[in-house]
Amino acid sequence: MKLKHLNLATSDVGALAAFFQRFFAFKCLLERGAGAFVILGNDDDFVLTLMKRKKSDPDVYPETFHVGFYVEDRTAVQAKRDELMAAGLSPREIQEAGRSGRGAHFYCTAPGDILIEIATPPELHDA
């Protein structure tokens, strides 16, 4: 079994779709309604759906909720941070690998207040 789909509710479907297309190579597969629903896909056959937040939905995701992307190495983490900075976004500082086994990583807030993490893969160990 593989995780291959994620749905995000957002206040700005169009801007968030453009963010994922520009910075993470997603392609638009389907768009319905005036900025209400978009299906995006990438070269790994991952499907990301974005839909307009409903009035009954909470205004924000929980503070620790985020969407993560892994890149090959520390250099790629830095390159993605530089790219986001050059585009006028405000990525946080890169945090280095620690005792938790997490690799180098940083966070950036995407349109619609979706928190994104870019990181090297964690070092996984058998329990």
- CATH number of the CATH domain containing 126: 3.10.180.10
Q: What is the pTM of this model?
A: 0.90
Q: Are residues 51 and 67 in the same domain?
A: no
Q: Are residues 49 and 105 in the same domain?
A: no
Indicate the helix (H) or strand (E) that contains 51: strand 47-52
> How far is residue 119's CA from residue 122's CA, in Å, rounded to a whole number?
8
How many domains are contained in the chain? 2
The CA-atom distances, in angstroms, between 39 and each of 1, 27, 65 are: 21, 9, 21
CB contact set of 67 (below 8 Å; sequence gap of 6+): 6, 8, 114, 115, 116, 117
Last residue of a domain, one of 55, 74, 92: 55
* CB-based contact 83:91 (threshold 8 Å): no
* CB-based contact 40:20 (threshold 8 Å): yes
Phi, psi of 15, rounded to the nearest 5 degrees: -65, -40
Q: Would you write out the chain's pLDDT as a tens digit for each of its 127 residues?
A: 999 999 999 999 999 999 999 999 999 999 998 889 999 999 999 999 999 998 888 888 999 999 999 999 999 999 999 999 999 999 999 998 766 667 899 999 999 999 999 999 987 544 4
Give pLDDT tens digits for 31-42: 998 889 999 999
